[in-house]
């Protein structure tokens, strides 16, 4: 017997992972989407995204009869009704893109509520899983006009590239509700087998936890990038600095790597959304605004570093200078290009007149959704490096460490590597007769000593 009967509306990263993982925990799950072609692909086992372990879970769930895909929210509720047991929990995992002024756009959330309001059985629970502004749970209650329906905020904390692992091994489960403590406890019980700490709170606090977590990480990354710049100016080594502070349990080792800035589908959207929340509460969130400004500045700082490396002068011209960009996605382990800092740097380089060729292990050249006028995407790093005046590493793919750097050097027109992730071993590049330029580190680093 299935533990619970669940509808998941939306099959993006969050919705598909949520549906597949809940099915793996023994629940009966129907996932719905408005894109018919996508639904057909999912039914055939093609998940369409690069996410470790997700395709296997989807296919296992379908084979076991616990997971299915339908077109539209109405169809999801109807399928469960047809099986003789109506939906108990409906997760809203629809897109909430950045709208006017930076606040999340709730049009898709409101559309699903409008579509299902009269179809939900008495006692069902509606769960906001998408990242939504503080107050959305209360707004959902108003839109439903169904006092017999519980409304719960259950934010996700999934990292792209490790979403399945994060779902099944969570740091915590956060569940908030103003309308029904029973509904909150029922949602928390869905995750009981995971054994994670559970925070039961009010809806506004649950919604705020999601923003607070992501924005804290953004601040931490901006801090590290600012420290890297300072290290360069005082001849310190950011790698040693972050190692030294990372052993402090109050700080930790994660999110201490400098780079070309933070991006992706969450941090840019969530930082601007929290600023809007702060503004609406008449609170000047200077710290968060400074983190955003630092992140914006970081991309230009990377361009200045590339310009100096290629031309010898910070104000040198990049016009018709050919550059090889290694890494286009916003992080390694995913094929997601949304708000990628790599593409932000590429846009600035292109504006400066550079000719760009890009390679990324997660991006297929034939289907890459990148404007050709920005850069040419190829499927071979050595082709990308051919006749380039520098290789610029923009995404932290571990595969780059195992490249034949002697061969890369033979392809290049100038022996320069700008490593914006401090990913590569400088000694390996020097043995290949390549100059290495990192972030927050000397181009001739001393031997590292660590115990």
Grade residue 451 by pLDDT with cuts at 50, 70 and 90.
Answer: very low
Q: Are 220 and 255 in contact (CB under 8 A)?
A: yes
Q: Sorting pLDDT into bands at 50, 70 and 90, what band is 443?
A: low
Task: Give the pLDDT band (50/70/90) at residue 165.
Answer: very high
98 DSSP assignment: B
Q: Which residue has the tokens 């409304």?
A: 151
Distance CA 140, CA 235 (A): 54
Beta pairing class for 5-9 and 28-33: parallel
pLDDT (0 to 100) of residue 200: 97
The pLDDT tens digits of the residues spanning 21-59 come to: 999 999 999 999 999 999 999 999 999 888 999 999 999
Buried b (16+ CB within 10 A) or exposed e, 41-67: ebeeeebebbbebbbebbeebbeeebb
pLDDT tens for each residue of 52-105: 999 999 999 999 999 999 999 999 999 999 998 999 999 999 988 877 776 778
Catalytic residues: 266
447 pLDDT band, cuts 50/70/90, is: very low
**Which residue's entry shows tokens 């600023």?**
275
* pLDDT value of position 141: 93
d(CA 102, CA 409): 44
Are the C-beta atoms of residues 364 and 379 closer than 8 Å to each other?
A: yes
End-to-end Cα spacing for the chain: 53
Which one, of 144, 147, 135, 124, lies nearest residue 176 by Cα? 135
pTM of the model: 0.90
Across residues 199-222, what is the average pLDDT? 96
H/E stretch holding 347 reads helix 341-351
- At 392, is the secondary structure helix, strand, or coil? strand
The pair of three-digit structure tokens given for residue 267, joined into one six-digit string: 């941090």
**How is residue 269 written in tokens?**
């959207």
Residue 215's Cβ-count burial label (10 Å; 0-12, 13-18, 19+) is buried
Percent of the chain with pLDDT over 90: 87
* CA proximity to 302, closest of 323, 283, 274, 279: 323
Q: Distances from the Cα of 194 to the Cαs of 31, 81, 164, 199, 351, in angstroms? A: 21, 28, 13, 14, 49
Owner of token pair 């929290």: 274
Tokens coding 291: 């983190």
The predicted pLDDT at position 96 comes to 83
Q: Give DSSP secondary structure letters for 31-55.
A: EEES-HHHHHHHHTT---S--TTHH
pLDDT tens per residue, range 351-401: 999 999 999 999 999 888 899 999 999 999 999 999 999 999 999 999 999
Q: 33 φ, ψ to 5°?
A: -145, 160
DSSP tally for the chain: helices H, then strands E: 16, 14
Specify which residues 393 forms β-bridges with: 326, 419
| pLDDT number for residue 22 | 97
Mean pLDDT of the chain: 93
SS3 of 339, please?
A: coil
Give the integer Cα–Cα distance in Å for 318 and 228. Answer: 24
Distance, in Å, from the CA atom of 102 to the CA atom of 286, rounded to the nearest integer, reads 16
124-147 burial: b if 16+ Cβ within 10 Å, else e: bbbbbbbbbbbebbbbbbebbebe
Tell me the domains of the chain and their CATH numbers: 5-201 (3.40.50.720), 220-437 (3.40.50.720)
- For residues 375 and 356, the answer to whether their CB atoms sit within 8 Å is yes
- Mind listing the pLDDT tens digit for each residue in 258-290? 999 999 988 999 999 999 999 999 999 999 999
Is the pLDDT assigned to residue 9 strictly greater than 80? Answer: yes
Coil, strand, or helix at residue 436? Answer: strand
């Amino acid at each position: 017997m299935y533990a619970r009967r669940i509808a998941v509306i939306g099959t993006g990263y969050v919705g598909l992972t949520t549906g597949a993982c809940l099915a793996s925990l023994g629940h009966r799950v129907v996932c719905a989407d408005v894109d018919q072609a996508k639904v057909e692909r999912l039914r055939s086992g093609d998940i369409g995204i690069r996410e470790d372990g997700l395709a296997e879970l989807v296919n296992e769930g379908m084979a076991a009869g616990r997971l299915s895909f339908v077109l539209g929210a109405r169809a999801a509720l109807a399928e469960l009704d047809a099986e003789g047991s109506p939906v108990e929990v409906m997760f809203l995992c629809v897109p909430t893109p950045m709208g006017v002024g930076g606040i999340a756009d709730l049009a898709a959330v409101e559309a699903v509520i409008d579509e299902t309001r009269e179809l939900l059985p008495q006692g069902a629970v509606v769960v906001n899983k998408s990242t939504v502004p503080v107050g959305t749970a209360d707004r959902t209650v108003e839109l439903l006009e169904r006092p017999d329906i519980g409304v719960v905020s259950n934010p996700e904390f999934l990292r792209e590239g490790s979403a399945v692992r994060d779902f099944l091994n969570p740091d915590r489960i956060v569940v908030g509700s103003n309308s029904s403590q029973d509904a909150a406890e029922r949602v928390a019980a869905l995750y009981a087998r995971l054994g994670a700490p559970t925070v039961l709170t009010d809806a506004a606090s649950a919604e705020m936890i999601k923003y607070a977590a992501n924005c804290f990480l953004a601040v931490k990354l901006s801090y590290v990038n600012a420290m890297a710049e300072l290290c360069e100016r005082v001849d310190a080594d950011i790698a040693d600095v972050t190692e030294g502070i990372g052993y402090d349990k109050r700080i930790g080792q994660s999110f201490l790597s400098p780079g070309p800035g933070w991006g992706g589908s969450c941090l840019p959207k969530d930082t601007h959304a929290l600023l809007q929340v702060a503004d609406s509460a008449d609170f000047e969130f200077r710290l968060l605004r400074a983190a955003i400004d630092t992140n914006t500045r970081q991309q230009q700082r990377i361009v200045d570093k590339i310009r100096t490396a290629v031309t010898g002068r910070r104000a040198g011209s990049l016009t018709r200078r050919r550059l090889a960009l290694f890494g286009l996605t916003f992080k390694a382990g995913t094929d997601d290009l949304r708000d990628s800092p790599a593409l932000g740097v590429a846009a600035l380089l292109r504006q400066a007149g550079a000719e760009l060729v890009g390679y990324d292990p997660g991006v297929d050249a034939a289907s890459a959704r990148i404007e050709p006028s920005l850069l040419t995407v190829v499927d071979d790093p050595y082709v990308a490096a051919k006749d380039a005046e520098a290789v610029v590493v923009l995404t932290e793919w571990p595969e780059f460490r195992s490249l034949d750097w002697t061969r890369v050097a033979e392809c290049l027109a100038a022996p320069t590597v700008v490593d914006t992730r401090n990913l590569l071993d400088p000694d390996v590049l020097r043995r290949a007769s390549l100059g290495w330029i990192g972030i927050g580190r000397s181009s001739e680093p001393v031997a590292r000593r660590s115990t």
